[in-house]
Structure 1
Amino acid sequence: MQPADRDGAQADEPIETTPARFGALTRRGALLGIGAVAGVAAVDVGGFAYAGGWLGSSGPDDLTPPRFADRFEQVYGRHDGFRRNHAKGLSATGTFDSTGAGAAVCRAAVFRAGSVGVVGRFSLGGGLPDQSDKPDTVRGLALLFDVGGGQQWRTAMINFPVFTDSTPEGFYERMLASKPRPDTGKPDPQKLAAFLDRHPETVAAMKVIKQLPPSAGFADSSFHGLNAFWFTNSAGASVPVRWSVVPQAAGGAAAPPISVGKDYLFDDLIRVLAQRPLTWRLVLTIGEPGDPTNDATKPWPASRRTIEAGSITITAVQTEEAGNARDVNFDPTVLPDGITASDDPLLAARSAVYARSFSRRAEEPKSPSEVNVRQVLS
């Protein structure tokens, strides 16, 4: 157990996600997958619980954010200098080319026609920087848009279309219910069943996730922002928006090979980018009255209006080191003028724990990144 007075950190999932293997929308099917989705965006557990009122500091035995984070370090061990979740990753650089269409709903400069620089990070969920790549582990794409004028837009996305929990409290309960037992290494099925009985929204979200099995690699993955935000245009009109980035196929490119190599997902990404850029379309989905803005487990109807705001082109990836995305805090509430956070209770909590994680790892000695670009290309 690490000292309880250390700064808090991003929380981590104890078990990898396996959306392709979820059962049907039944309690038994959910039990087969609930432990696997324990960390789908588990970047936020300590902060979630804190913001939801679960964490206190009135007594020596109360669960505080630092103690919560320390317990997750016990799951994976302590890996100095690495993120507590999505520890394995590659930095990336590129551009965002705006079509100008997004300006109809948002006055942020990033949506004016033109180009801005982008810093990004591809990652796998989990707190192990040297974990083996698996096709069904949650994949992340975080982006920082350099809007200009001292403003930035940061977003941390994953390849799931919805989140598994609607509240910090629900997320906290699920993490506790998913804790592996020391004798079996697996979650207690009775605790999971009890959790699912209390949280039908999680079962419903898992059904949605199951309908979209993972793609072959990073290059052909769609990534979703999950939470809703408010976009305001130059006339002062505001609408709720969710966004996704959708891969733009490049002339007959073959799918990444299925491999048993330890880093095969990252290795393939490195090799593809050495040959050509990769492009994703930024798609804004416009909500209508009645669409939930405070519940990331519920998808909006497929009939909702969408706007293709532009294209994100990644031109290179880099081994994580000082000066690139390794040292960026992809706080999803760092927003430019024209975008504001919604009433989703997860957003403020994510921001709080991202800051704690950044502070913690910034003070730690750095270790070499697991994925080495030069080594793959040599």
Structure 2
Amino acid sequence: MKTLYLALLFTPALCLSAGKPAQVTAQQFVNLQQGDAVFPGFRRAHAKGICISGEFHSNGQLAGYSKASLFNEGVTPFIGRLSIAGNNPTAPDLKSPVRSMALSFAISHTEQWRLAMNTPPVMAVADPHTFYQQIQAVQAGPAAIQQFLSEHPEASEFRAWAAQYQATGSFAAETYHSINAFYLVNSNGEQQAVRWAMQPTVAVPASALDGNDALQTEIASRIAGAPVVFNWVFTLAEPADDEDNPTKAWPENRRQVTAGQLILTGTTAQLEGDCHAINFDPLVLPSGIAATRDPILRARSAAYVESYRRRAKEQLDGALEGSNND
């Protein structure tokens, strides 16, 4: 359990405090994420990953809920990234119990949609300031984190998920959750709160993998043989559901709509692929998608920008140093 909490320190779904008395700055939060070990030019969260590319094939079932053209019946290409939790780009793939999928859709010349999803369906705490305290407790050791969790009953659903979760043997076999809720907005201005998940169409046992780069090697080989397919499933909230609280799952009987299939057709090493330069900030939204008032979601951009600023500066400094040596 402790390993899973440590891994969650570095998921892209974490961010700063918005409007709480004791605020945490972007610099403080990213400092805590990266720790003492800095890997210049890499993300401070989910540093190890692989670029993916492919297409989303929409069936049109969500077109009545959102005016985003992505949901019209048709095909939209994407650039994305599969990754493991942590700030070490050389970490063993199988040591991290949290895996992520990030996507970037260029919907038009002026609109993009960026998504960041993780294997946990819920978070342990409901606001960024408390999550910062959770990180500090984890770093203080097992006794501190147990004390912290005992004082935060809102973590019960996350703890229940963590107790039963079994990692699979492939990025292709995981379910990736939005965790936070968003609004679909249609042409009449009507809003529908939703969460979504990328649901796999294959099952792969964990015992089939071995090696430091096991997940990356497996997914690259799998996609080279045939496209990997996920069903993009949206869960629609009802009035009783709290779209602003990421610690609470919605009831299983809520209506679900499959918007289409995400089809992965290519992989590239992250330093050679287009995904490395993308900041997968989930608040980069197109018309037809809107953020909820979830305090974690609403404040995420500051931490994303700070992390991106640091690695971009490091990459630029490295390029300038190399140019001076020529």
Fold shared by both chains (TM-score > 0.5): yes
- Percentage of matched positions with identical amino acids: 32
Work out which of the residue numbers 298, 322, 334 in structure 1 matches 2:284.
Answer: 334
Kept in 2, the 8 Å contact 1:37–1:164? The answer is no
Flag structure 2 segments of 5+ consecutive residues without an equivalent.
Answer: 318-326
**Does the CA-based 8 Å contact 2:178-2:197 persist in structure 1?**
yes
Q: CA deviation at 1:343?
A: 1.0
The separation in 2 between residues aligned to 1:45 and 1:142, in whole angstroms, is 11
Shift of 1:71: 4.3
- Give the match for residue 31 of structure 2: 70
Secondary structure at 2:224 match in 1: helix
Matched residue, 1:344: 294
Aligned to 1:277: 227
- For 2:241, what is the secondary structure of its paired residue? coil
Paired residue total:
318
What is the aligned counterpart of 1:217 among 170, 176, 179? 170
Q: Secondary structure at the match of 1:313?
A: strand
Structure 1 segments, 4+ long, off by >6 Å, are none
Query: Is the partner of 2:246 in helix, strand or coil?
Result: coil
RMSD: 2.4
Q: Which digits, 9 at most, give the CA deviation of each residue in 1:301-346, with x for residues without a partner?
A: 1101011101111101101236600000000011111110001111
Tell me the distance in 2 between the aligned counterparts of 1:256 and 1:235: 47
Q: 1:319 to 1:332 in 2, by over 3 A?
A: same
Deviation of the 1:35 alpha carbon: 5.6
Partners in 2 of 1:171 and 1:216 — Cα distance? 29
Report whether the alignment pairs 1:141 with 2:101.
yes
Aligned to 1:124: 84
Q: Which residue of 2 aligns with 1:38?
A: 6
* Separation in 2, partners of 1:122, 1:52: 33
In structure 2, give the amino acid aligned to 1:40: L
Counterparts of 1:34 and 1:254 in 2: how far apart (Å)?
A: 25
Alignment-derived partner of residue 286 in structure 1: 236
1:201–1:297 contact (8 Å) kept in structure 2: yes
The corresponding residue for 2:130 is 170
- TM-score in terms of structure 2 length: 0.90
**Pairing partner for 1:208 from 153, 161, 165:** 161
Verify the 8 A CA contact 1:285 1:307 in the aligned structure 2. yes
Note closer, same or farther for the CA distance 1:333–1:257 as it changes in structure 2 (3 Å cut).
same
Counterparts of 2:128 and 2:98, CA distance in 1 = 20
Question: Which SS does the other structure have where 2:134 is aligned?
Answer: helix
Alignment counterpart, residue 231 of structure 1, candidates 169, 177, 184: 184
Residue 193 of structure 1 corresponds to 146
1:106 aligns with 2:72: no
Distance in 1 between residues matched to 2:16 and 2:3, nearest whole Å: 19
Q: Secondary structure at the match of 1:48?
A: coil
The equivalent of 2:198 in structure 1 is: 245
Indicate conservation of the 8 Å contact 1:38/1:174, yes or no: no
Amino acid paired to 1:313: I
SS at match of 2:208: coil
Which sections of structure 1, spanning at least 5 residues, go unmatched? 1-32, 57-63, 181-186, 368-378
TM-score normalised to structure 1 length: 0.78
